[in-house]
């Protein structure tokens, strides 16, 4: 009699459609659920989170420049920016990390959020005070970009104060504003004599003189450049040769 041979059959593991075992699939979902729900700090930041943050900062700046200076809760901010459908991890990231660390957002004592301008100026009067303070302390000028982000109706106010503000070109195509102190009156003869006097001092000596007296210098000011004159290249005239006459030997044969 033949002894039946018993083969060791390997136990088949339950495989998922992606080729993973059932236990591997369960552990994967458990780790992902732990990272997204319990601890949002471990979740990698995505472009959607930064776009939500940029939308909030832009909206908070807009409402501040429109005159709305009251603070908002995180729920109110998300509601007014139409972002109530974001995930809980993104909401936690905005409330605990992104908004508190943003330099343009300030948190109040009631744990609410408000826009934080570069300068605390809300009117024409406060803007003039800021310019006078910068002028008296030798702090230099104020960037037009910072004024637009801090002062409501900035364009209207600057147009009204055109005789009290001096605008000079600054770095990165920006404009620097200085206070125009019209209280000092100088005789015209003194101005003429002053313009006739030549001073042999270079820019480096002037910078050292101002730095010793704790006065700031104008930095990154565009140097005036003379307009470049492009010379046209003289075109070399080609010497046109005499046109070659065609051979008319066949005509001579007819006349002979």
Q: Could you tell me the pTM of the whole model?
A: 0.55
| Three-state DSSP string of 83-102 | CCCCCHHHHHHHHHHHHHHC
Quick one: tokens of 3?
Answer: 């002894």
pLDDT band at 88 (very low <50, low <70, confident <90, very high): very high
Q: φ, ψ for residue 196 (rounded to 5)?
A: -80, -20
pLDDT, position 46: 77
Q: How far apart are CA 208 and CA 223, in angstroms?
A: 20
Alpha-carbon distance 46 to 89, whole Å?
11
Q: Distance between CA 115 and CA 69 in Å, rounded?
A: 8
Q: What is the mean pLDDT of residues 23-48?
A: 45
Collapsed DSSP state (helix, strand, coil) of residue 113: strand
Average pLDDT over residues 170-192: 80
Question: What's the average model confidence in pLDDT over 9-17?
Answer: 46
Predicted confidence (pLDDT) per residue in 155-179, tens digit: 999 999 888 898 888 877 889 998 8
| The listed CATH number (1.10.510.10, 1.10.10.10, 1.10.8.10, 2.130.10.10) that belongs to domain 42-115 | 1.10.10.10
Average pLDDT score over residue span 184-200: 76
Cα torsion through 216, 220, 225, 231, rounded to 10: 160
Percent of the chain with pLDDT over 90: 39
Return the half-sphere exposure (C-beta side, CA atoms, 13 A cut-off) of residue 231. 3
Mean pLDDT for 79-89 is 93
Mean pLDDT of 6-33: 43
Mean pLDDT highest for which of 182-186, 212-216, 239-243, 250-254? 212-216
**Is residue 151 within 8 Å of residue 122, measured between CB atoms?**
yes
Read off the pLDDT band of 20 (50, 70, 90): very low
pLDDT at 146: 94
pLDDT confidence tier of residue 32, bands split at 50, 70 and 90:
very low
Q: Please report which confidence band the pLDDT of residue 224 belongs to, taking 50, 70 and 90 as the band edges.
A: very low
pLDDT band at residue 180 using 50, 70 and 90 as cut-offs: confident
Q: String of b and e for 80-107 (b: at least 16 CB within 10 Å)?
A: ebebeeeeebbbbbbbeebbeebebbbe
Q: Are 146 and 119 in contact (CB under 8 A)?
A: yes
Q: Grade residue 19 by pLDDT with cuts at 50, 70 and 90.
A: very low
CATH 1.10.10.10 in the chain: give the residue spans: 42-115
């Amino acid at each position: 009699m033949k002894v039946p041979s018993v083969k060791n059959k390997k136990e088949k593991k339950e495989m998922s459609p992606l080729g993973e075992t059932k236990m591997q699939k369960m552990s994967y979902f458990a780790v992902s659920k732990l990272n997204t729900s319990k601890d949002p700090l471990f979740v990698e930041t995505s472009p959607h989170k930064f776009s939500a943050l940029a939308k909030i900062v832009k909206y908070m700046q807009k409402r501040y420049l429109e005159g709305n200076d009251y603070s908002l809760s995180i729920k109110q901010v998300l509601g007014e920016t139409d972002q109530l459908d974001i995930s809980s991890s993104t909401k936690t990231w905005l409330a605990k990390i992104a908004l508190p660390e943003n330099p343009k957002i300030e948190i109040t004592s009631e744990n609410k959020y408000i826009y934080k301008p570069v300068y605390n100026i809300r009117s024409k009067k406060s803007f003039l005070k800021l310019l006078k303070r910068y002028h008296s302390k030798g702090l230099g000028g104020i960037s037009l970009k910072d004024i637009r982000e801090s002062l409501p109706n900035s364009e209207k106010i600057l147009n009204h104060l055109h005789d009290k503000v001096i605008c000079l070109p600054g770095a990165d195509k920006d404009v620097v504003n200085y206070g125009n102190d019209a209280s000092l009156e100088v005789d015209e003869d003194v101005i003429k004599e002053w313009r006739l006097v030549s001073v042999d001092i270079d820019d480096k000596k002037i910078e050292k003189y101002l730095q010793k007296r704790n006065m700031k210098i104008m930095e990154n000011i565009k140097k005036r450049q003379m307009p470049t004159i492009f010379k046209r290249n003289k075109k070399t005239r080609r010497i046109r040769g005499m046109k070659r006459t065609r051979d008319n030997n066949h005509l001579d044969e007819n006349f002979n």
